[in-house]
């Protein structure tokens, strides 16, 4: 018999706040975390706006190894510390338990690569750091987490673009459900990256000012950074610890568009498949879903296709299911987005409040659903579907539910 999987701890680092409570307060207040980029020069780009975490202390005293890590690893470890503290789990407990680490990312430690390339171009090969090979690969993030917390169990990094956070949560969910581990540290992380910024600018996908998902005058996405991590446990393990259970993960679905790498399938075929898989995997039906946490990038095609997906899956009920895009406030945190959104979804269930889609002014006839415009809303919400539709055609959908015995 498969095990039930629950959430007992969460941690976040975002452009609108470090720490779950600060993040949540700013989220329901509709705070815009998008500002002028300070990390690098934006001369020649379509926009100078981004979602930076400006108040993160990279030099805090968490040991020599921590200080030598890249920004993604530091983000991850800091948010995991918060999640473990919330779950009331210490290092001794981790050492004696069956624990897995599952991380989603798009860019990995891209800032380290960028700095190395800059050094190579301006100073030459001899000045490139000798320790570069052990600092930039994507798997370094999970390795750094394992070393920092002295976890010797399974580790994995899933670079599934902007759907990576949900993929990572789903992987940890499966390990627990099958009884292979008792506890999984899962989530996603990405740093602000010059390369990502340049790439999306080249695609003309970036908004010059704000992210306005589902709005008729939306102009594109905003590149951002952040991290979100959760502690997943089997229900049995959580009860044995007398843990405070925050929510339950019921199931997930993944798929690929098998279409173009930077444009969703115009009929939403891959996204529809992922959503249907998630609902089936959770042993639910469409009537059980109370809210959709949208991918909602603010690009013309994504938002239109996402609306098509909702209508195809839910039929007439689509008009009665509230949807909102947290990217309107956070920008697009890449591989971290769906993990951060899962934290937000858990808080929405806990507080019975739906986060808004800000910057919404002009309705789009092709996006005609309820996007919780501009103001947070009280609502009865038990079951949430968190959707991500990424470049490369990677789609993921996760079902989060209020915990009940």
Q: What positions carry a catalytic annotation? A: 162, 295, 332
- Angle, vertex CA 151, rays to CA 68 and CA 12, nearest 5: 65
> Quick check: 140 and 189 in contact, CB under 8 A?
no
Give 213: exposed, middle or buried? Use CB within 10 Å, 0-12, 13-18, 19+: buried
Task: From 47, 46, 45, 52, select the one nearest 13 (Cα to Cα).
Answer: 52
Rounded Cα gap, residues 290 and 189, in angstroms = 27
Task: From 390, 10, 397, select the one nearest 186 (Cα to Cα).
Answer: 10
Task: From 269, 271, 266, 235, select the one nearest 253 (Cα to Cα).
Answer: 271
User: Half-sphere exposure of 212 toward its Cβ, with a 13 Å CA cutoff?
Assistant: 15
Which residues share a beta bridge with 71? none
> Quick check: 127 and 72 in contact, CB under 8 A?
no
Number of Cβ atoms within 10 Å of the Cβ of 113: 18
Tokens of 38: 């300070």
Which residues share a beta bridge with 367? 364
* CA pseudo-torsion sign 221, 341, 347, 398: positive
């Amino acid at each position: 018999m498969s095990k039930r999987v629950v959430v007992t701890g969460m941690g976040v680092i975002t452009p609108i706040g470090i720490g779950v409570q600060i993040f949540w307060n700013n989220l329901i207040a509709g705070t815009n975390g998008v500002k002028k980029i300070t990390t690098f020069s934006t001369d020649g780009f379509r926009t100078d706006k981004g979602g930076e975490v400006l108040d993160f202390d990279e030099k805090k005293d968490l040991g020599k190894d921590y200080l030598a890590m890249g920004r993604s690893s530091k983000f991850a470890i800091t948010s995991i510390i918060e999640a473990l503290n919330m779950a009331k789990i210490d290092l001794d407990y981790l050492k004696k338990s069956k624990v897995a680490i599952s991380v989603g990312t798009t860019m990995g430690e891209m800032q380290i690569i960028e700095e190395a390339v800059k050094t190579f171009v301006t100073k030459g090969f001899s000045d490139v750091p000798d320790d570069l090979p052990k600092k930039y690969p994507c798997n370094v993030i999970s390795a750094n987490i394992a070393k920092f917390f002295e976890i010797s169990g399974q580790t994995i990094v899933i670079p599934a673009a902007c759907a990576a956070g949900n993929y990572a949560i789903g992987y940890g969910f499966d390990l627990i459900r099958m009884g292979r581990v008792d506890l999984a540290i899962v989530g996603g992380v990405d740093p602000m990256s010059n390369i990502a910024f340049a790439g999306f600018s080249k695609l003309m996908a970036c908004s010059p000012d704000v992210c306005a998902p589902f709005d008729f005058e939306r102009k594109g996405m905003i590149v951002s950074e952040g991290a979100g991590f959760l502690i997943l446990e089997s229900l049995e393990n959580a009860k044995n610890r007398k843990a405070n259970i925050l929510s339950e993960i019921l199931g997930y679905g993944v798929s690929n568009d098998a279409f173009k790498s930077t444009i969703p399938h115009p009929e939403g075929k891959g996204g529809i498949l992922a959503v249907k898989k998630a609902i089936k995997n959770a042993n639910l039906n469409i009537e059980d879903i109370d809210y959709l946490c949208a991918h909602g990038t603010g690009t013309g095609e994504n938002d239109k296709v996402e609306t098509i997906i909702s209508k195809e899956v839910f039929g007439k009920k689509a008009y009665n299911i509230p949807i909102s895009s947290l990217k309107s406030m956070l920008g697009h945190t890449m591989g971290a987005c769906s993990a951060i959104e899962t934290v937000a979804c858990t808080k929405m269930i806990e507080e019975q409040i739906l986060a808004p889609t800000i910057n919404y002014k002009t309705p789009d006839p092709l996006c005609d659903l309820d996007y919780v415009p501009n103001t947070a809303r009280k609502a009865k919400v038990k079951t949430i579907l968190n959707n991500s539709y990424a470049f490369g055609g990677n789609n993921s959908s996760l079902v989060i539910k209020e915990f009940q015995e």
